[in-house]
Amino acid sequence: MSAAYLDSSFLVSILFSEPRAGTLQRIASRFDPILASDLLAAEVLAASVREQVDLDQVTAALEDVALVLPSRSLVPEMREILVLGRLRGADLWHLACALFVAGPARRGMAFLSRDTAQRRLARRLGFRTP
């Protein structure tokens, strides 16, 4: 198996049983480890409360995610991304964290997101986006 970086939009689609949730779950199950920024937890928990999704279910899903906790500023990664296009702040942070953890091995890591702009930039940066 290979590693994947998980964006909040992908996990929310699964947890909220949105269309294609089963397909997304199967895609995610192909990867080990699954990595994400701790921002994912805040975004998913906040959305879950808003949508009245059981927090125990959400917490259990978050336990399967290994957190990326950068030890330095991610401004270099953010600049690399922004040369290619614009993103909202949270989407930029997730993609920068993925760059940080992947290092030069981007082609060996998948970036799991439902956001079109984020996926497009992830592909341009060398990530697989199943």
Write the CATH number for 62: 3.40.50.1010
Closest CA to 40 of 106, 120, 28: 28
What integer pLDDT is reported at residue 23 of this predicted model? 97
Please list the residues that pair with 4 across neighbouring strands: 34, 110
- Mean pLDDT, each 10-residue run in order, the chain (130 residues): 94 94 96 96 96 92 94 97 96 97 94 97 97
d(CA 110, CA 107): 8
- In-domain check, residue 104: yes
- In-domain check, residue 129: no
Contact, 77 vs 96, CB < 8 A?
A: yes
Domain containing residue 74: 2-122
- In-domain check, residue 92: yes
- In-domain check, residue 51: yes
Please list the residues that pair with 94 across neighbouring strands: none
- In-domain check, residue 127: no
- In-domain check, residue 62: yes
First to last CA, the chain: 14
Calculate the alpha carbon distances from 107 to 24, 40, 127 in Å.
20, 22, 5
Closest CA to 101 of 6, 16, 5: 5
Query: What is the enclosing helix (H) or strand (E) of 53?
Result: none
How many structural domains compose the chain?
1
What integer pLDDT is reported at residue 80 of this predicted model? 97
